[in-house]
Structure 1
Amino acid sequence: MSYQTAAQAKEKYTAKMGDKLGPQFHELRQEVIYLNRKWMEYITLFGTKPTRVQLMNATAPVFFRTVQDVFYDDMLLHIARLTDPSQMGKFSNLTFQNLSDLINDEKLKAKVDPLLKSALEQSEFCRDWRNKLVAHRDLDVAINGTADQINGGTREQVNKIIATLSEILNAIELHLTEGSTHYTFDGHTGGAKDLLFFLDDGKRRHDERRARIVSNKATPDDLAARDV
């Protein structure tokens, strides 16, 4: 498979889909690729197996709890942005809600519209979470209630909405270009899994150094001050 730049991809989709649908399809495709990549990193850290969470808790629990919360908030924000109304005040948005009006092929529209409806329904909790806890701080929730009253969704729900957004784009791409995009990421160099290996190596070395110190067998390097 040959590599193409983002500019080349945009040019290809514009040529195949037209000047109105093509550019917006390309940008939404880029967003969903990034969305999938971020979610894969989150799941790699926090949703794969308990031993990974135990490793993070044994090394920097406060930091990784912050990472977990910020990561998840960002995912819901990203999904909310992509499914927001086309127009908010005087501003126009890049959103999946634009797609139906940009599709001229009635057969394709009949396939895409139910998926769009599902995407909006599935992502409703993302907008509620964003509006009351992340982008804004709901006064009633802050004073009289707790965040537990707001549905933050589950990993399964996030998986489902990401899959639906990917399905929408592939339905359009397959119909108009006879191609498709593999949106699911299996990992990449420099990602979360590499971080886990470094954490594991560091934890092992830390435990070995501590054992030497406790048994009065410390080396000069064990006791040397370090500047990180």
Structure 2
Amino acid sequence: MNRDKTAEEVKQEMIDKMGIDFGSLFYSLRNELLWLTYRWIEFRELYGTKETRIEIMNSSAPFLFYTIQNVLWENLLLGVAKVMDRPESRGKKNITFKSIPLFIKEQPFHDEIMSIFINLETESSFCRDWRNRWIAHKDHALSVDEGSAKPLEVATRLKFRTVLELMHELYNKVSLKYLGSQTAFEFLSSDRGAISLLNLLEKGLLYEQERLKKKLNGDWSQNCFQSKV
């Protein structure tokens, strides 16, 4: 009977096939990329799919969902900036996609990976700009709205999706080469996440509308305030 591998088994396979340094790095990047992808899925389901979902959130708890939108968006930008940092800073190693080419010795494959990576680095520059000048640090000129301040790079859902897809491509190229397998990131979905919440909120809003209708029709009985089981 086939079964899913445990996290330890996945890590050990990577170490066995890629060596301890490369395998450990690649396993950590896998976890970061999966977690980043799942957060993106939740953000997209809430704020980037249907206008009716925005209406549900605005009718339920507008300030809360506005806060979640900003916090989650900044967290996504930070997630990209984190794994696109230098391999080493102040003498300490980082888990970053920039380390991958350092382990690839076969020249043709190294060139192929570098081509994707250069594109990824260019496309993800807006994430680092936001991290450096607005999220992790507060640029003075931007904060006080000085006329000489350089505007932040434009950050959109489309640009973020492009970056994430390049990360998926880079990861899968390396995974196929050394592990003989790929991850179908495009088919990932969250279980009991944003969609579940929106469905519950929609039912609650419909119930509140029905209750208000009863009150307007003069039905102030206790039953009109009780949910049906």
- TM-score with structure 2 setting the length: 0.92
For 2:130 and 2:154, the matched residues in 1 are separated by 6
SS in 2 for 1:48: coil
Moved over 6 A (4+): none
Matches within 5 A, 1:42-61: 42-61=43-62
Identify the residue that residue 219 of structure 1 maps to in structure 2: 221
Does residue 193 (structure 1) correspond to residue 191 (structure 2)? The answer is no
Paired residues of 2:18 and 2:178 also in contact (CA < 8 A): yes
Paired residues of 1:108 and 1:172 also in contact (CA < 8 A): no
Identify the residue that residue 121 of structure 1 maps to in structure 2: 122
For 2:54 and 2:133, the matched residues in 1 are separated by 28
For 1:217 and 1:127, the matched residues in 2 are separated by 58
| Alpha-carbon spacing, 1:86–1:203, altered in 2? closer, same or farther (3 Å) | same
Q: Which has the larger displacement, 67-76 or 144-153?
A: 144-153
Once the two structures are superposed, residues 171-214 of structure 1 have per-residue CA deviations (whole angstroms, 9 ceiling, x without a partner) of 01111122111122442321110011001011001111122222
Q: 1:169 aligns with which of 171, 186, 203?
A: 171
For 1:20 and 1:91, the matched residues in 2 are separated by 15
C-alpha displacement at 1:105, in angstroms? 2.5
| Alpha-carbon spacing, 1:23–1:186, altered in 2? closer, same or farther (3 Å) | closer
Paired residues of 1:82 and 1:94 also in contact (CA < 8 A): yes
TM-align CA RMSD = 1.9
| Alpha-carbon spacing, 1:50–1:132, altered in 2? closer, same or farther (3 Å) | same
Q: Match of 2:74, as an amino acid?
A: D
C-alpha displacement at 1:138, in angstroms? 0.7
Identify the residue that residue 62 of structure 1 maps to in structure 2: 63
Does residue 80 (structure 1) correspond to residue 99 (structure 2)? The answer is no
For 2:86 and 2:188, the matched residues in 1 are separated by 32
SS in 2 for 1:85: coil
Identify the residue that residue 93 of structure 2 maps to in structure 1: 92
Q: Which residues of structure 2 form unaligned runs of 5+? A: none
Q: 2:204 aligns with which of 199, 202, 205?
A: 202
Q: Which residues of structure 1 form unaligned runs of 5+? A: none
For 1:47 and 1:90, the matched residues in 2 are separated by 40
Matched pairs, number: 224
C-alpha displacement at 1:27, in angstroms? 0.8
Does residue 35 (structure 1) correspond to residue 36 (structure 2)? The answer is yes
SS in 2 for 1:149: coil
Q: Match of 1:127, as an amino acid?
A: R
Does residue 153 (structure 1) correspond to residue 118 (structure 2)? The answer is no
Paired residues of 1:37 and 1:184 also in contact (CA < 8 A): no
Paired residues of 1:209 and 1:218 also in contact (CA < 8 A): no
Identity, % of aligned pairs?
Answer: 28
C-alpha displacement at 1:30, in angstroms? 1.1
For 1:135 and 1:6, the matched residues in 2 are separated by 31
